[in-house]
Structure 1
């Protein structure tokens, strides 16, 4: 009887010990809160849907082609990066709209494409949660910066138009290195500028490709699940998935 009791006691001790060790391991693996929050801009902070009107007008009423235009622009920004070339995001945007028009048998000129893209892109409104969400994060003591594929001049105009200038400590554009996200060098460059280790920064974006690149570069990542946006299933999972910046602020509180 005493042997059976001893075995039960030993088994219980092992179970408790294993549980404590497992809990400790999980606690050890949980990343610390980031020192810096790095935000993507287009679609993450700024609402692109307002461009449906201008894009649709240029494409003969085909407002449904807006997502195709944006994905074509992203695709060819990477063509520039892997081929060692560089054109700014506005130029690629115009070229991409001409391609979408051609592939859909729609005749537009370069000037019409510029009119449809440049001014509307620089005056995008913020998503409804953005200002209040950024204010909460700033009040919580986080350093807020942006990292965008847009040009320095372009993102400055966007932030001024959207009323976001006061929320950010710094704005960074890949124009300075002429390497588009999600190339790992873009994230490594901004980490050097910020003088932080990868795990001390969090990339926040509404694009699966952006959080995938940042995750591979060692950053903490949060995917903002804006309508119509999805994660890349073959990439590493982000640390967090939230519906908006209110949820992010609550998560990081």
Structure 2
């Protein structure tokens, strides 16, 4: 099976940015990071729904300025550069490397699809030691549309010459977009998250990649 894996939060641990964002925003790190990430995603969805496109890195910087500004703070260029470097060097979740090895050993083709531009995605996978554990790297930037719009998912199917695939992600909005684009889906419950209850359930729900590998092997 062709497995299409999201990167940020799904494979890589974004909590590594907690202290950096906390210093900028002036609130506890995990709270600041979640507010920043949610602002970034909300902005990307609004722009995408309106038919526009802004590179994900620009949205990350803008979201940090917005969240800091709401608390009366300003963000320097040096802080933006540290955020960019932090994103490029995020560590993998502990289950990811063994999970990817298991999935590939079980015969699945494993590719990644992220909203980050391709150069950043490749840098992330090299830094985290995952680049040799995936078969291909794709970016929504190549479609000039951010997930959960359908174009990025369809781009992967076209590039892979595949009629079918499964999207694996830790985000309910990503799973929703993939399902509406015709893919099967697997939701990873990072940080205790649950998928949307307003739509059809994901094909699989697992705690991490190793549990997902077990579920796929059993079916």
Who is 1:134 aligned against?
Answer: 100
- Is the CA contact (8 Å cut-off) linking 2:150 and 2:181 kept in structure 1? yes
Tell me which structure has the larger Cα radius of gyration: 1
**Residues in 2 aligned to 1:70 and 1:114: alpha-carbon distance in whole angstroms:** 14
TM-score calculated relative to the size of structure 1:
0.82
Say yes or no: does 1:204 pair with 2:171: no
Deviation at 1:184, TM superposition (A): 1.6
Q: Are 2:83 and 1:117 aligned? A: yes
Q: 1:69 matched to which residue of 2?
A: 36
Please state whether the residue corresponding to 2:47 is helix, strand or coil: helix
Where does residue 202 of structure 2 map in the other structure? 238
- Mean Cα deviation higher: 129-138 or 53-62: 53-62
Runs of at least 5 residues in structure 1 that lack an aligned partner in the other structure: 1-34
Mapped to 2, the partners of 1:159 and 1:79 lie a distance apart of 28
CA distance in 2, matches of 1:116, 1:81: 27
Structure 2 gaps of 5+ residues are: none
Equivalent position to 2:47, from 80, 104, 121: 80
1:229/1:70 CA distance change after superposition, 3 Å: same
Task: Provide, for residues 33-70 of structure 1, a one-character-per-residue CA deviation record: whole Å limited to 9, x for no partner.
Answer: xx200000000000011100111111134422110100
Matches for 1:1-253 after TM superposition, within 5 Å:
35-63=1-29, 64-105=31-72, 107-197=73-163, 200-253=164-217
CA shift at 1:147, angstroms? 0.5
Distance 1:108 1:116, change over 3 A: farther
Do the aligned partners of 1:58 and 1:116 also contact (CA within 8 Å) in 2? no
Off by >3 Å, runs of 4+ in structure 1: none
Q: RMSD value over aligned CA atoms?
A: 1.4
Answer yes or no: is the 8 Å Cα contact 2:168–2:185 preserved in 1.
Answer: yes
Relative to the length of structure 2, the TM-score reads 0.94
- Does the CA contact (< 8 Å) of 1:55 and 1:116 recur in 2? no
Q: CA deviation at 1:86?
A: 2.5
Contact residue 139 and residue 152 of structure 2 kept, 8 A:
no
Deviates more, 1:142-151 or 1:179-188: 179-188
Distance 1:222 1:216, change over 3 A: same
